[in-house]
Amino acid sequence: MTSDEEAVAGARTAFAGTFGGAPEGVWAAPGRVNVIGEHTDYNGGFVLPVALPHTARAAVARRSDGRVAFASVQGDGSVVELDVSELEPGRPDSWAAYPAGVVWALRERLDGGGVSVLLESDVPVGAGLSSSAALTCSVALALRDLAAPELGPPDLVEVARRAENDFVGAPTGILDQSASVLCTAGHALFLDTRDRASEQVPLDLAGAGLELLVVDSGVTHEHAGGGYGDRRRECESAAERLGVAFLREVDDVAGLGSLADGTPEGDVLFRRARHIVTENARVLEVVAALRGDADPRTIGPILTAGHESLRDDFEISVPLLDAIVESATAAGAYGARMVGGGFGGSAIALVDHDRIDAVVAAVTERFAREGQDAPRTFTAVPSAGARRLA
Ligand code: ADP
Ligand code: MG
């Protein structure tokens, strides 16, 4: 990741090189990892993300010609440009749909004007760390400051959610955008996605001699395709059969009995729902431990239990993610689990600071045995949410 000064300088230079002139400001929004609470967000449940030190930066300037233009330092060098009035879901349909969706959601606030947006990001893309929400949230914050000052943080979350769900067509829940906007340094964000109530839970891993290691499996996932949407539909079917609006409303596994009707389909829905019910309980257990005086090491086994549930009941892990969890825990991690939407992406491991090298070596060795290059790893220091840098 980059220091704020370097980030501002880099974004200004890239903006000038692409659009000429100076941006009116530079805004940053982070990626995230979820400590626990996976796939609960679209079930009205609980999540506990931390913001990463890695951010997307948006250098933005208003323009008076009613055009919007987007460029990304990580993109192919092309500038995507069109009239604000031409924005509609599916147009543009490239990576630029993410920032375009934010402009679209706030188009009435531009009063016939437009914007030039230069994006630069060090959030790993497609690694389950929410590079997409980092983009949308950085642009949402920029447009708030430039054109819609009355919008509060919950409104920004909503604008970024609409950009992803309604414009891009990516069926994400509210976790990614909430984490990117609402997280604060040194804390995990305990969010109830049903009423969007949130609480900052102190998470001083360094003080306890611990690190939250992130290992990118290198297997990229695709939200739009397949598995994620299937799981959402299965959860909806399970809720419908149980007669509840959201699976969140089921408090314990005993309440799922009627799903297991002896048919293969019933068995699948039972296991999907059991993941959601037990995962919500795991979030509450972790929050209780962190709120109290418990040693944060005690949350390790809860993370590993969460992985097993994602692997066996929700069936969204892949062999390399399982390999990370197995090799990290065998090498001394207190717990580990895959994170994000599944079918690839990253895993986290809770590790003593002085065991990090041994755990990374063990995971790397396991990857080598599987014929894979050494995975990218870094420590997730709970960092600040979206903010203006300059
Ligand atoms: P994740 O959010 O887990 O990283 P997504 O599939 O939700 O994965 O979002 C990844 C997509 O976001 C990329 O395919 C690309 O379209 C867009 N994206 C993210 N970061 C950038 C960037 N720096 N430049 C251009 N597009 C980006
Ligand atoms: Mg995403």
The per-residue pLDDT for 224 is 41
Q: What percent of the chain has pLDDT over 90?
A: 93
Nearest Cα to 325, choosing from 303, 354, 294, 341? 303
The per-residue pLDDT for 76 is 82
For ligand 1, pick from 39, 95, 316 the residue to mutate: most ligand atoms within 8 Å of CB.
95
User: Which residue's alpha carbon is nearest to atom 8 within ligand 1?
Assistant: 126
- Asked if residue 40 lies in contact with residue 306, where contact means CB atoms within 8 angstroms, the answer is no
The per-residue pLDDT for 133 is 98
Which strand ranges, in their side-by-side order, compose the sheet holding 187-192?
A: 46-47, 187-192, 197-202
Q: What percent of the chain has pLDDT over 70?
A: 98
Q: Could you tell me the distance, in angstroms and rounded to a whole number, from the CA of residue 320 to the centre of ligand 1?
A: 22
- Asked if residue 146 lies in contact with residue 60, where contact means CB atoms within 8 angstroms, the answer is yes
Q: Could you tell me the distance, in angstroms and rounded to a whole number, from the CA of residue 131 to the centre of ligand 1?
A: 5
The per-residue pLDDT for 225 is 57
Q: Could you tell me the distance, in angstroms and rounded to a whole number, from the CA of residue 343 to the centre of ligand 2?
A: 13
User: What residues are labeled active site?
Assistant: 176
- Residue-wise DSSP of 148-193: -TT--HHHHHHHHHHIIIIII-----SHHHHHHHH--TTEEEEEET
pTM above 0.75, yes or no: yes
pLDDT 10s digits, 278-307: 999 999 999 999 999 889 999 999 999 999
Which helix or strand (DSSP H or E) is residue 213 part of?
A: strand 210-216
- Residue-wise DSSP of 258-320: GG--SSHHHHHHHHHHHHHHHHHHHHHHHHHHHHTT--GGGGHHHHHHHHHHHHHTS----HH
User: Which residue's alpha carbon is nearest to atom 2 within ligand 1?
Assistant: 130
User: Which residue's alpha carbon is nearest to atom 12 within ligand 1?
Assistant: 132
Q: Could you tell me the distance, in angstroms and rounded to a whole number, from the CA of residue 223 to the centre of ligand 1?
A: 10
For ligand 1, pick from 131, 136, 178, 220 the residue to mutate: most ligand atoms within 8 Å of CB.
131
Which ligand is closest in space to the CA of residue 126?
1
- HSE at residue 348, side-chain half, CA atoms within 13 A, is 26
Low-confidence ranges of the chain (pLDDT < 50): 224
- Enumerate residues lining ligand 1, CB below 6 A: 72, 74-75, 95, 98, 119, 121, 125-132, 135, 170, 223, 340
| CATH numbers and ranges of domains, the chain | 4-200 (3.30.230.10)
User: Residue 81, exposed/middle/buried by CB under 10 A (0-12, 13-18, 19+)?
Assistant: middle
Q: What count of other Cβ atoms lies within 10 Å of the Cβ of residue 249?
A: 16
Which ligand is closest in space to the CA of residue 160?
2
For ligand 1, pick from 125, 138, 174, 178 the residue to mutate: most ligand atoms within 8 Å of CB.
125
pLDDT 10s digits, 90-135: 999 999 999 999 999 999 999 999 999 999 999 999 888 999 999 9
The per-residue pLDDT for 359 is 98
